[in-house]
């Protein structure tokens, strides 16, 4: 980094460590910044940081830990457990602000790109916020307060980017297109590390596990039982960068496959089961494939997205309990054509050029 041209942009990418989804969708922009010869700093925690380290092995990318909200989940009753942790979430935003001020000054950062890290902004440099959660679905009695909170957090950023298609109602539905948001909110297309040009894999059933514990493990165990019950086997993408590849009872487990291997496995499968987390949905859109969607219990956003994709694109969905019981519906549905990453990369490049002195 010390040999870099002092006039080159130096970008800080921060990624929310809430499963691997925010890390996987931010990866194409991080790689574009590196290809451009810009200085690249990446900050996150835990699984997200481990994943990004495994994907960006070039010495030109520097990794850092930052404050991160520790949101814990229960097997049941997540709505109340998450609400109980909100004071800590707000304290983390304040910690992020202090950390950002120090980091930007110490590393001479010229631009900040934050994937759902509300506190990572500073008036010193241009800051962009990537999110699809501009309207968080909550009980109606508190909806106005949540919407006001999101608008307030968004007001600190110079650019607001939503990874979504332009055609209504979009992949994110009402989450990504709320009323009352600033006009600078921009949809910049599908964002995914997966390419439809990968060779198709040989597994006919693929389960893609994601999300925080304990639900990541509960989903993995349910998929494993389903795949071994009739002896047909399958492939499980376990979403665990620290794990190892293994095969047992006809079920192969990949902890952290390459983008090409993952895309090929998904495209070659007859049945794909995955969460309705938005980053997983972006991967499906990038490949143009269908899947059976299993929302994480207690996550109102995933419950909404599963319903939205069921109503808009005809996708099948089931609960995690139904998955554990083997009650899996037939796969169905179809997606509109979408080219991943091109518009998002153009948006990033234009923004950096426009805001670089």
Q: How big is the CA angle at 152 (ends 149 and 155), to the nearest 5 degrees?
A: 150
Give the list of residues 6+ apart from residue 91 with CB closer than 8 angstroms, or none: none
pLDDT at site 244: 87
pLDDT at site 321: 94
Mean pLDDT by 10 residues, the chain (357 residues): 68 90 95 97 94 90 87 48 56 94 98 97 98 82 81 95 94 84 89 94 94 86 94 91 88 93 97 96 97 92 96 97 95 95 98 95
pLDDT at site 353: 97
Stated as kind and residue range, the H or E segment containing 169 is none
Domain ranges of the chain: 10-189+341-355, 205-324
Chain centroid offset of residue 267 CA: 20
Q: DSSP string covering 240-299, please?
A: -TT---EEETTEEEESS--HHHHHHHHHH-SEEEE---HHHHHHHHHHT---EE-PPTT-
* Nearest-angstrom CA–CA distance, 135 and 301: 9
* Nearest-angstrom CA–CA distance, 87 and 52: 28
Q: Map residue 228 onto helix, strand or coil.
A: helix
pLDDT at site 70: 59
pLDDT at site 84: 46
pLDDT at site 10: 98
Whether residue 331 contacts residue 347, with contact meaning beta carbons closer than 8 Å, is answered with no
Whether residue 136 contacts residue 150, with contact meaning beta carbons closer than 8 Å, is answered with yes
Whether residue 298 contacts residue 285, with contact meaning beta carbons closer than 8 Å, is answered with no
Q: Where are the alpha helices (DSSP H) in 114-196?
A: 143-154
Whether residue 213 contacts residue 296, with contact meaning beta carbons closer than 8 Å, is answered with no
* Nearest-angstrom CA–CA distance, 98 and 220: 38
CATH topology of domain 205-324: Rossmann fold (3.40.50)
Q: Map residue 188 onto helix, strand or coil.
A: coil
pLDDT at site 40: 98
Q: DSSP string covering 315-353, please?
A: -EE--HHHHHTT--PPP---------SHHHHHHHHHHHH
CATH number of this structure's domain 10-189+341-355, picked from the four choices 2.160.10.10, 3.40.50.2000, 3.40.50.300, 3.30.70.1520: 3.40.50.2000
> Given phi > 0 = left and psi -120 to 50 = alpha, else beta, which region is 298?
left
Q: Map residue 143 onto helix, strand or coil.
A: helix
- Tokens 């699984």 — which residue? 47
């Amino acid at each position: 980094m010390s040999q870099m041209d002092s006039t080159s942009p130096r970008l800080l990418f921060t990624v929310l460590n809430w499963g691997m989804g925010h890390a996987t969708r931010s990866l194409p922009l991080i790689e574009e910044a590196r290809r451009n010869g810009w200085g690249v700093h990446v900050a996150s925690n835990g699984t997200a940081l481990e994943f990004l380290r495994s994907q960006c092995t070039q010495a030109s990318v520097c990794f850092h830990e930052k404050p991160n909200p520790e949101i814990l989940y229960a097997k049941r009753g997540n709505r109340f457990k998450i609400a109980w942790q909100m004071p800590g979430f707000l304290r983390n935003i304040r910690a992020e602000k202090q950390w950002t001020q120090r980091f930007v000054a110490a590393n001479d950062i010229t631009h900040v790109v934050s994937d759902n890290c509300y506190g990572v902004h500073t008036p010193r440099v241009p800051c962009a916020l990537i999110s699809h959660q501009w309207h968080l679905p909550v009980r109606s009695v508190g909806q106005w307060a949540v919407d006001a909170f999101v608008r307030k957090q968004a007001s600190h950023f110079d650019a607001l980017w939503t990874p979504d298609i332009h055609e209504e109602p979009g992949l994110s539905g009402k989450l990504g297109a709320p009323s009352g948001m600033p006009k600078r909110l921009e949809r910049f297309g599908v964002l995914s590390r997966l390419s439809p040009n990968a060779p198709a894999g040989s597994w006919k059933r693929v389960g893609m596990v994601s999300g925080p514990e304990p639900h990541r493990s509960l989903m993995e165990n349910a998929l494993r039982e389903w795949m071994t019950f009739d002896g047909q086997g399958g492939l499980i993408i376990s979403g665990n960068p620290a794990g190892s590849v293994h095969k047992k009872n006809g079920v192969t487990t990949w902890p952290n496959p390459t983008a090409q291997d993952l895309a090929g496995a998904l495209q070659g499968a007859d049945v794909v089961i995955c969460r309705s987390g938005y980053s997983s949905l972006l991967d499906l859109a990038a490949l143009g494939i269908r899947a059976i969607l299993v929302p994480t219990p207690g996550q109102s956003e995933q419950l909404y997205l599963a319903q939205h994709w069921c109503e808009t694109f005809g996708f099948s969905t089931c609960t995690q309990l139904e998955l554990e019981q083997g009650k899996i519906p037939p796969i169905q549905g179809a997606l509109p054509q979408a080219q991943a990453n091109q518009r998002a990369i153009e948006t990033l490049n234009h923004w950096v050029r426009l805001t670089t002195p």
